[in-house]
Amino acid sequence: MKKVVVCLGLIACAVLASGCGELRANGNYLRLLVKTTPEERAQFLTDLMKTELSLEQSQHEPVYEINLKYAREMEDIVLSDGTERTKAKGLRDMNARKEAELETVLSEEQYRVYQEEKKQLREQLEHMTERETAV
């Protein structure tokens, strides 16, 4: 489960944008984003999804391509000069497109598990944000 949280943390900006209403990418996340390529992040996420969602062999390449497409788009949005509000909207829109694409590749059960994992991460990130703002 920890691996899922770490992996989904790589896409935390999108989750934060939809779960917290504004972009709150911390320095650690941005350092990770800068130190890894979209290809590395897409491969890591795909490998994790293979294990956690029990992807079929035929799903590996389409899932990787989706993850890569949106890792590149996410990087462009996060590193852009836009306002937090603009970035958050861009990430929400991007996330909706990614979800729609994944839903066409994953089985109903795989997609359900994926959504549950995302929900748990969103809750954890909201709690972390609450603790940071309380300090």
Helix (H, G, I), strand (E, B) or coil at 57: helix
Listed by start position, the domains of the chain span 2-134
d(CA 58, CA 85): 38
Q: Which amino acid is at 116?
A: E
Q: Could you tell me if 71 and 84 are in contact, meaning their C-beta atoms sit under 8 angstroms apart?
A: no
Integer CA distances (angstroms), 3 to 25, 33, 78, in order: 20, 17, 23
d(CA 123, CA 19): 8
Query: DSSP assignment, residue 107?
Result: -
| pLDDT one-digit tens code per residue, 1-32 | 344 333 444 444 343 333 333 333 444 555 55
Q: Please indicate, yes or no, whether the overall pTM of this predicted structure exceeds 0.75.
A: no
